[in-house]
Amino acid sequence: MRRRAGSVLAVASLFLGVLAATPDAHARPAAEAAPRADSGALSVWTAEVTAAQVPLLLRAGIDGHELGGRVTGDKAVPVELDLTADQAQGLRDQGVRLTEKRLPKGVLEHTQAAGDGVFRPYSGKNGLQQEIRDTGRAHPGLTKVVSIGKTTRGQDILAMKVSKNAAKSPDGSRPAVLYMANQHAREWITPEMTRRLMHHYLDRYGKDQRITKLVDSAELWFVLSANPDGYDYTFQSPANRLWRKNLRDNDGDGKITARDGVDLNRNFPYKWGYDNEGSSPQPASEVYRGPAPASEPETKALDAFEKRHAFRYAVNYHSAAELILYGVGWQVATATPDDVLYRALAGTPGKPAIPGYRPQVSSELYTTNGDADGHAGNVNGTMMITPEMSTCQTASAVDPDDRWKPGDCRSIFTFPDDEKLIQQEFAKNVPFALSVAETAVLGDRPVSAVGLSAPDFTPHAFTTSYARGGRQTVAVTARKSVADKHLNFRIDGGRTHTEELRAWDGGDRYGGEDNIRFDQYRATVEGARPGSTVSVWFTGRTREGRATASEPFTYTVAATPRADTLVIADEGGKKPAHDAALYTKALADNGRKTVVWDVATKGAPPALGVLGHFDTVLWYSGASRPDGATLLAVRDFVNEGGKLITAGTEAGGGVQIGDADTDDFSQYYLGADDRRAQAGPTRFTGGGELAGTTAALGAASGAGPLRSAGSFSPISDVLPPETFPLFRSAAAGEYTPKVTPRDGAGAKARWSAAVTTRDTVLLGFGLENVADGRERAALAGAALRAVGG
């Protein structure tokens, strides 16, 4: 689970460029009848939470993206949650402070009466479905209306194609882009975004050169609502306004309650149910993934639609976190080849493609699995980006003199029913929307709304190699359309050597995906000796036949002794490591030859340059939190088959990476679902894979008793290995005195001093906390045997 360490949400600046008005929405009609609701309705709650309590919210079924970046470390901050009374009580029982949000008397009625009647349902007279059909009839030469499938309740999910001679030209005869919205029912601003964008193209055709060129050269497809049943349901009554899911009647009782519905953005087959944090198996959860991959007709319809039309790009509008999300959602901080192009389109935090939105990798804050974006990219070959549109509070604060006040917002999702504010929100999104369509025409050359580009080559540079005269793998992210891709290198300024680059297939868990337009390529350098300096660059030819090359980087082959095990000393601070010799001695007592990498003096070890030359790594962090950059390098090492032993009194918990905090590596690689500090342990007794070991514990350097050590609940206690074999873990020892669980969440868990997986051993203390050298050696030997290293 990942959370930003600093607040990022602020009042959005609005793009106020002059754009002609789109057709006004009509008065909203009554939606079709839906299954009746019961008393388990969602209400808006304000929770005062710390970063440590965020996992409780995720387990309760809250979509992490909707928390934004407001949770900051140990200080409790307010966040908005949509919960039933039972869900709220469950969080209260776990120590979360909650207050139901109640607007002053008359505010809700006032805001409804003050509305312009812009928002309306999908079905019924003057609904969005009718508007799609009417618009198609009004523009017969430019449009084609199709049903892509049926909803749970049998409604047609309509899509409109906008293109020159749309009805006569075969689908797929031009590059296709998809604009879709409203997977989540309550996000009313998103169908309005796609509706206005559809009219923006049609009304300017033949008048605006840029628009005309796009309509003539591309197929522009619009799905105004991917969840018509759920969207209609939110118009039934104020009690339904915050409904998120579709209308699957999960328990078959003929009525819709909080236990019903499926989150359509967690129901796609790619990475469906990867874990229970990015989606939930519980029907009452807001992120319930459904009983099976693609169980929902809406999911099946969209998947088949994407397959039929082979969209090059897609924009999937959501609200209301004010983000531009792209790339990997199922695992935190995971760079992919296509990120090079996504970044050019989405922009940077300082230069976003949509003013007021923050561009970021989808999992920068929280993970998702079974989502539309990941499935579109890795199954259907469509590069999909998700803008999270503005909150009610942001929109209401734009004009202090209008009738909308942030304090009157029932929820972040209740965007003001105000033509001016809706048009302004739409207008600031238009440049990005057009840039995606223009990029679809070109394929892999981004037309960035903020002037960014995607280079042909992005080398994975490092400065130190432990190859010692052996083979050194080097890598580059490169545009797939570039031909004749080669590695070029010089050793000590000598002649240029060339090697053909080959696409990397990926590791055990990641890599080899999210590579539609770019990919990672590798080759090897041979012949460099210890002390040599190697200059590396990459070359190829563009589709037009033009020579292209990367910037060079240089590394030095370190003159290190031959070793089979690397010790990463990560003691924190800037001073050289103090306790590394204890680790090298314990490993030497087990017949290992070691070399030490000191993070304090050298920074994080490069995965290819250093870690890739070892089968086993022992990473210790003393009494400090492990280094975030080192964690990412170590994760790459484990992903490519490396064996890891990690130790330290703060190991196995959260780690700061950039401006965010994450414990995902601890959970899904080290096997520790949760970490607690155990006060004053005096002895470790091994169990499981570490059975037969024991060690008296104390402070480092014999400076008295050990104040605190880490204790863990194995993730297999939470994610059964029969269902989640990838995360199989086991307890491997206990402390004296034993760990006593303190709260409701931990009462059913086993707390252990060590956890093992197939490839890793996690110790909640360091070897510096073991005074007896023989006990240190025995523990190191057991850990080596446990990982087979």
Active site residues: 388
| C-alpha to C-alpha distances, 667 to 82, 681, 748, nearest whole angstrom | 27, 23, 17
Question: Strands 351-352, 472-479: parallel, antiparallel or unpaired by DSSP?
Answer: unpaired
Using CA atoms, how far apart are residues 168 and 201, in angstroms rounded to an integer? 19
Compute φ and ψ for 151, nearest 5 degrees: -85, 180
Name which of 527, 387, 395 is nearest 467 in CA terms: 527
Tokens of 343: 């970044």
Q: Decide if 525 contacts 540 (C-beta within 8 A).
A: no
Name which of 544, 539, 324, 313 is nearest 435 in CA terms: 313
List, in order, residues 6 or more apart from 437 with CB less than 8 Å away: 177, 214, 218, 220, 313
Using CA atoms, how far apart are residues 60 and 13, in angstroms rounded to an integer? 33
Q: Decide if 353 contacts 435 (C-beta within 8 A).
A: yes
Using CA atoms, how far apart are residues 783 and 217, in angstroms rounded to an integer? 61
Using CA atoms, how far apart are residues 201 and 162, in angstroms rounded to an integer? 8
Residue type, 26: H
Segment 397-404 long-range contacts (CB within 8 Å, at least 24 positions apart): 397/11, 398/11, 398/14, 398/424, 403/114, 404/111, 404/114
Using CA atoms, how far apart are residues 147 and 629, in angstroms rounded to an integer? 48
Distance of CA 315 to the CA centre of its chain: 16
Q: Decide if 84 contacts 30 (C-beta within 8 A).
A: no
Tokens of 41: 């309705």
Beta bridge partners of 472: 525
Compute φ and ψ for 717, nearest 5 degrees: -75, -20
| C-alpha to C-alpha distances, 44 to 83, 84, 230, 303, nearest whole angstrom | 7, 9, 18, 33
